[in-house]
Amino acid sequence: MYPVISKTTIAPGISRLEVEAPLIAKKRKPGNFVIVMPVEKGERIPLTIVESDPENGTITLIVQAIGKTTHIINKMEAGDHFIDVVGPLGEPTPIKNVGTVVCVGGGVGTAVIYPMAKALKEAGNRVIGIIGARNREMVILKNEMADCSDELHITTDDGSYGLKGFVTDALAQVIDENKTIQSVYTTGPLPMMKAVAEQTRKFELHTMASLNPIMMDGTGMCGACRVSVGGELKFTCVDGPEFDAHKVNFNELIQRNKTYFNQEKKSLDAYNEKCKTRGANV
Ligand SMILES: Cc1cc2nc3c(=O)[nH]c(=O)nc-3n(C[C@H](O)[C@H](O)[C@H](O)COP(=O)(O)OP(=O)(O)OC[C@H]3O[C@@H](n4cnc5c(N)ncnc54)[C@H](O)[C@@H]3O)c2cc1C
Ligand code: FES
C-alpha cells in the first residue's frame, strides 16, 4: 500500500498528490514514470514522477481527471492509499549541457515537461520554457517553470493569460528570436506534439517528444504502448517515453489512443452514476 501524504487541487480537475514510495523516490530520475493502481480490481495507469524527495521517501504526481481511473485518483485525499505503485519506469531523459534548449508543455503535459526543464537547467543549459493551457485557471506549475527557465512564455487559447494562442505561436516567436537553439523538448496532447514536430522539422531542430500512448503492464510485455518511430516498432514504456519527434508516426498513435473510446466513456458514465447514487469514491 502507498499512502497519500498530501493532496492539493492546483486547477479545475487537476490534483497534485504526494505519495509515500521510498524505494521509487530513491531511484527516480527525470523522465521516469510510475504505473499506479488506485483501487483493487481497478485499472493501472501511467503517471510521470514530477518530483521526488528521497529523504522523506515521497514522490509527487500531478493528475488530470479525464476518465474513470483519473477521476478516482482526483478524489483521493491524504490518508487514502494506492493499492500499487510500480516504478520508476521508462528511460530517463538524457540530460546534457548542449547550450540553449526549449521546453514546450501543453495542458497537463506541463507536469511532464517540468522535471525535464528543471534537470536541463541544473545541467547548465539556457532553458526557454513555453507552457500553454485552455485558459488562466488551467495554467499549472507557472512558478516552478519560471524558477527553472531563463525565459518563460505562457499561452492561453482564450487569451485570458499570457499570449493568446497556442504554444506553437510562442514557439514560432522563440525560434525567430533565438538562432542558437540546440534542442526542443515537448509533451502534451498528441495533436500539439505533432504540430510542434512539424514546426521544428522546417528548421531541422532536434526535437524530442514524450509520448503518452495507452499502457498496461509498463514493462514491455503486452505491446499496448507500441508506436512507430522511423518505421520501426518501439514500446514506449521501455524504449521511451521520449523519442525523436520527427520520426514518430503521430497519426497512427492518435488513432491507437482512440481504440477503447466507447468502453472508456461507458466506464466513466457508469462510475459517475454510481457516485451519484451511492456517493463517495466508489
Ligand atoms: C508515460 C506517461 C506519462 C503520463 N503522465 C501523466 C501525468 O503526469 N499526468 C496525467 O494527468 N496524465 C499522464 N498520462 C496520461 C494518463 O496515463 C491518462 O490520462 C490515463 O491513463 C487515463 O486513464 P483514465 O482511466 O482516467 O481515462 P480513460 O478512460 O482510459 O481515457 C479517457 C479519455 O482519455 C483518452 N486517453 C486515454 N489514455 C490517454 C493517454 N495516455 N494520454 C492522453 N489521453 C488518453 C482516451 O482516449 C479517452 O478519450 C501519462 C501517460 C503516459 C503514457
Ligand atoms: S505497456 Fe505493455 S509493452 Fe508497454
Q: Both 128 and 243 in a single domain?
A: yes
Task: Kindly report the backbone phi and psi dihedral angles of residue 263, in degrees, each rounded to the nearest multiple of 5, phi listed first.
Answer: -65, -40
Q: Both 73 and 209 in a single domain?
A: no
pLDDT for 280 beyond 70: no
Q: Determine, yes or no, domain membership for 265.
A: no
The string of pLDDT tens digits covering residues 164-196 is 999 999 999 999 998 899 999 999 999 999 999
pLDDT for 232 beyond 60: yes
Considering its fold, how many domains does the chain have in total?
Answer: 2
pLDDT for 210 beyond 70: yes
Residue 86 in grid coordinates: 510500480
Q: Determine, yes or no, domain membership for 275.
A: no
Average pLDDT of 34-62? 96
Do 105 and 112 touch, CB atoms closer than 8 A? yes
The response to whether residue 235 sits with its C-beta less than 6 Å from ligand 2 reads yes
Full-model pTM = 0.94
Task: Give me ligand 2 centre to Cα 127, in Å.
Answer: 32
Q: Both 82 and 113 in a single domain?
A: no
Measured from CB, residues less than 6 Å from any atom of ligand 1 are 33, 43, 45-48, 62-64, 66-70, 108, 111-112, 212-215, 241, 257-258, 261, 264, 267-268
73: containing domain: 2-89
Task: Give me ligand 2 centre to Cα 236, in Å.
Answer: 7
Q: Both 116 and 44 in a single domain?
A: no
Band the pLDDT of 214: cuts 50, 70, 90.
Answer: very high
The string of pLDDT tens digits covering residues 243-277 is 999 999 999 999 988 888 888 888 888 888 888 88
Measured CA to CA, the distance from residue 242 to residue 209 in angstroms comes to 5
Q: Determine, yes or no, domain membership for 220.
A: yes
Q: Both 113 and 23 in a single domain?
A: no
Strands (E), 28-149: 33-37, 45-48, 51-53, 58-64, 81-82, 84-89, 100-106, 126-133
Q: Both 109 and 238 in a single domain?
A: yes
Task: Give me ligand 1 centre to Cα 191, in Å.
Answer: 14
